[in-house]
């Protein structure tokens, strides 16, 4: 069986392609750099992060992009012996307007090198490239209507792409206005048995989300809706573990089995809060005698477990839980925010055996912020690091952060206080968009020795986050109150147009004086934890650290 989600943590808007015996899924990365995550599998059960192709300034520069903008809904395909990747760079999402530009990059290998981008258009987002049987190529994307008459989603546009001229050519045709559910986006085109099929995402990316299908005998339409309207949705079933299911793409295996990948979230039970973001799940689907695609399980409902395909099992080495920064290559799990110039943020060579961050702008900056982090992938997890840092000013901070966006974070920071010297403090912003009032401090500053490393830890136990610290080999000491981990979610602090990413944990350094004071991190450890009951002494939850049980 396949257990959902197959890509836990923030991995939204999946696009899937099979090349021989290999399967690849591309997902959105929004403001996180490098752009687009591509995971690899050979059995649809086991997946491994393989690459992020948009990794240089000529391909992507997100400085100034607001939260939850940037790279939306990439589409990955393979034709003519190469990979084709189209993507949106969204520069604005709030208000009537969407400033968005769509691009195409190609590569002979999934590992690159990937080309510089070809500009496509700016009429809307979620572009997808369709390779027809006659060799012609067609781009589809949502068109955005700022007039909101009758809807801001103006339909799905179709235009031919000339691969030799490297540009869109010919007329633009609006081929689909969507179902009565509305908010039609995320288009993908397919061809089968003389039909053109159009799969779209509908209902917005919240709790009304769905995968909708339509078909036509001709490419330009008209497209008739699926008799069930949707192929997949959880909007009628609040009891399901997988909610907000939608935005799908399907693939056929070597043995003609068909699987649909889609986004969904796992809101914490009893709360409409999804700190792990929109994750990628998979469902088995079948073609009916009427040539329509339907789920192989319950009609429309995303299942937690689905039958695996008839493919040989292919496992990958597990991801390392601890990184000691002993090699000059950043572990693939980590990303940073917006800038294509990482050398201004960090170095793995200036102090061997350490990750050195150069303090830049404030936490939450949309331009240059020295924050390196990885996705939170479980409701129960632990992150730990050791920091060597000598601030001389209260505008200099570095430490351990749980981060969603500029209005949603918890930050345990080493800083400087004029009265007590080097100290620990907690900065927290509890998702109160649009004011972004910082709750500071959340506890009295804790004095630290004038020099020397300090260990920092955070533990997330379902809805609560607790910071701790330790000096040398001393025991861990809690600092501050238990914080609300649920603010690190899509649904908290919605803003005008909603949030679309997920919670990260990582290392941060800020220097608002402009002197770029360095902060050296000796290691970073992250573990997903499994609950192990309650302690008989203090009645608190006990957690598993690998095979070791933590007790009070």
Task: Give the chain's count of helices (H) and strands (E).
Answer: 0, 41
As a whole number of angstroms, the distance between CA 303 and CA 202 comes to: 19
How many other C-beta atoms lie within 10 A of the C-beta of residue 92?
A: 14
Residue 384: active-site member: no
Q: How far is CA 479 from CA 162, 376, 442, 456, 514, in A?
A: 60, 21, 9, 10, 29
As a whole number of angstroms, the distance between CA 167 and CA 137 comes to: 11
Q: What are the φ and ψ backbone dihedral angles of 81, each rounded to 5 degrees?
A: 75, 15
Q: Is 148 in contact with 123 (CB distance < 8 Å)?
A: no
| Cis status of the peptide bond prior to 266, with omega within 30 of 0 | no
Catalytic option among 160, 301, 361, 368: 368
As a whole number of angstroms, the distance between CA 242 and CA 501 comes to: 17
In 193-292, the DSSP E strands lie at: 195-202, 210-216, 224-233, 243-252, 258-265, 279-287
Q: Is 202 in contact with 184 (CB distance < 8 Å)?
A: yes
As a whole number of angstroms, the distance between CA 323 and CA 353 comes to: 10
Task: Compute the chain's Rg from CA coordinates.
Answer: 24
DSSP 8-state assignment for residue 367: S
**Three-state SS sequence of 394-415:** CCEEEEEEEEEECCEEEEEEEE
Q: Is 234 in contact with 264 (CB distance < 8 Å)?
A: yes
Q: Is 528 in contact with 541 (CB distance < 8 Å)?
A: no
Query: What residues contact residue 3 under an 8 Å CB cut-off, 6+ apart?
Result: 304, 305
Query: What residues contact residue 164 under an 8 Å CB cut-off, 6+ apart?
Result: none
Give catalytic residue positions: 368
């Amino acid at each position: 069986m396949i257990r959902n989600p197959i890509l836990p943590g923030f991995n939204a808007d999946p696009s899937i392609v099979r090349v021989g015996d290999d399967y690849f899924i591309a997902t959105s990365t929004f403001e996180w750099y490098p752009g687009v995550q591509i995971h690899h599998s050979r059995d649809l059960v086991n997946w491994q992060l393989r690459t992020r192709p948009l990794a240089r300034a000529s391909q992507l520069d997100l400085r100034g992009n607001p939260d939850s903008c940037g790279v939306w809904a990439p589409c990955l395909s393979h034709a003519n012996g190469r990979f084709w990747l189209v993507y949106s760079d969204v520069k604005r999402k709030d208000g009537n307007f969407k400033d968005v530009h769509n691009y195409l990059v190609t590569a002979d290998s999934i590992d690159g090198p990937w080309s510089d981008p070809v500009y496509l258009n700016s009429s809307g987002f979620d572009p997808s490239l369709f390779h027809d049987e006659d060799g012609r190529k067609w781009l589809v994307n949502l068109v955005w209507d700022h007039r909101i008459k009758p809807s801001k989603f103006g339909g799905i546009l179709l235009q031919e792409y000339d691969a030799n001229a490297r540009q869109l050519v010919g007329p633009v045709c609006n081929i689909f206005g969507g179902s009565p559910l509305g908010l039609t986006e995320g288009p993908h085109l397919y061809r089968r048995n003389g039909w053109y099929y159009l799969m779209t995402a509908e209902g917005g990316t919240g709790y009304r989300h769905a995968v909708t299908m339509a078909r036509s005998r001709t490419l330009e339409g008209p497209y008739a809706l699926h008799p069930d309207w949707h192929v997949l949705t959880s909007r009628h079933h609040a009891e399901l573990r997988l909610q907000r299911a939608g935005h799908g793409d399907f693939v056929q295996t070597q043995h003609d089995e068909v699987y649909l990948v889609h986004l969904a979230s796992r809101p914490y039970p009893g709360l409409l809060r999804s700190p792990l973001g929109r994750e990628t799940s998979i469902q088995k689907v079948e073609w009916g005698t009427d040539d329509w695609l339907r789920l192989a399980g319950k009609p429309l409902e995303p299942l937690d477990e689905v039958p695996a395909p008839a493919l040989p099992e292919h496992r990958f080495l597990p991801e390392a839980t601890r990184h000691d920064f002993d090699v000059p290559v950043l572990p693939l799990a980590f990303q940073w925010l917006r800038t294509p110039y990482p050398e201004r943020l960090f170095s793995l060579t200036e102090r061997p055996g350490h990750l050195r961050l150069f303090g830049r702008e404030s936490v939450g900056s949309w331009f240059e912020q020295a924050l390196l982090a990885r996705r939170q992938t479980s409701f129960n997890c632990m992150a730990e690091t050791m920091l060597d840092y000598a601030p001389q000013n209260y505008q200099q901070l570095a430490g351990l952060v749980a981060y969603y966006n500029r209005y949603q974070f918890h930050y345990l920071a080493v800083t400087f206080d004029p009265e007590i010297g080097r100290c620990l403090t907690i900065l927290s912003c509890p998702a109160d968009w649009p004011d972004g009032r910082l709750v500071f401090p959340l506890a009295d500053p804790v004095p630290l020795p004038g020099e020397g490393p300090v260990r920092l830890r955070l533990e997330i136990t379902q809805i609560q986050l607790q910071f701790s610290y330790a000096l040398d080999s001393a025991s861990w000491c809690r600092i501050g109150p238990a914080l609300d981990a649920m603010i690190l979610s899509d649904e908290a602090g919605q803003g005008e147009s909603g949030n679309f990413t997920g919670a990260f944990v990582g290392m941060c350094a800020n220097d608002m004086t402009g002197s770029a004071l360095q902060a050296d991190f000796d290691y970073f450890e992250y573990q997903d934890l499994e609950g192990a009951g309650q302690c008989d002494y203090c009645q608190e939850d006990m957690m598993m650290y690998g095979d070791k049980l933590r007790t009070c």
